[in-house]
Amino acid sequence: MATGGGASNPPPYRPYRHLRTLAAHDQAVSCVKFSNDGTLLASASLDKTLIVWSSQTLTFKSRLVGHSAGISDLAWSSDSHYICSASDDLTLRIWDAQSAECVKTLRGHTDLVFCVNFNPQSNLIVSGSFDETVRIWDAKTGRPLHTIAAHSMPVTSVHFNRDGSLIVSGSHDGSCKIWASDTGALLKTLIEGNGPAISFTRFSPNGKYILVATLDDTLKLWNYSTGKSLKIYTGHVNKVYCITSAFSVTYGKYIVSGSEDNCVYVWDLQGKNPLQKLEGHSDTVISVSCHPTENKIASAGLDGDKTVRIWVQNT
């Protein structure tokens, strides 16, 4: 009998091990993300700069300088040519990752810009801010297209689904909402704002599910169409910071998250059981990114650490 998604026997778990530590930021590393083609890795920091690294050689390529305050988030365009950064200086900047030049500055938010993402077509950028709005921008011109009065507290995350038609947003107000990317209209409130603060949210790679982190040490996987919570992942510590999590799909299917106990956690997506706790950072792990084709994780540490660590699975 055919089962949905063909989730038969997953491959046996292969533990991750520490491969390299990348140290070049002067303050907390706030975000780390592999490019979509897997060749580059970008890190953002409260030191006001981004660094582009080779993900193959794990060597420094360039530093992107221009923001006048700390950077909270970064996103790659689908072709891995551009990076968009979200800063406490109230702006977003679009950078050419090859030339390290800033090509556009997006102005309009009236408070710290906290989160950003490109749509898969990379003609739109979505951002969320402490000004409680979600804004949709034309990536080519830098012009604002929609300003959505989305939440009643800071917006902590924004993410497009696989075809770019939907945006999910999460907020400290405890709500998680789905928006139409072409009009900015509210389509669904997935989670009403009466629970714990939502610190992070994103669509699954297939767009059917939404992963939601809350500041009560909990990650939940929700079914977008039914609006029901399917799975709960616990064991990590997350009460204060907006820690990002990721789907790992290159070998088995895992959920990966940072934690306030300075570790990276890996769970089995289906079974919900923790598979591994990666130790080594000396402060909260605020951000994790899974390589698109290799069994490789990057993680970023806050001010007591200031490093990016690379982890690989034993072959």
- pLDDT of the residue at 194: 86
Give yes or no for residue 2 having a pLDDT over 60.
no
Residues 61 and 41: their CA atoms lie apart, in Å, by 10
> pLDDT tens across 8-65, in order?
677 899 999 999 999 999 999 999 999 999 999 999 999 999 999 999 999 999 999 9
Residues 283 and 248: their CA atoms lie apart, in Å, by 23
Torsion of CA 220, 151, 134, 38, to 10 degrees: -20
Q: Do 212 and 223 contact (CB within 8 A), yes or no?
A: no
DSSP-assigned letter for residue 76: E
Instruction: Indicate the residue type of 172.
Output: H
Identify the band that residue 4 occupies on the pLDDT scale cut at 50, 70 and 90. very low
CA 208 to chain CA centroid, Å, is: 18
Residues 28 and 255: their CA atoms lie apart, in Å, by 24
Who contacts 6 (Cβ-Cβ below 8 Å, separation ≥6)? none
Pairing type for strands 274-279 and 285-290 reads unpaired
Instruction: Indicate the residue type of 222.
Output: W
Q: Do 104 and 144 contact (CB within 8 A), yes or no?
A: no
> pLDDT tens across 110-128, in order?
999 999 999 999 999 999 9
Counted residue by residue, the chain has a size of 315
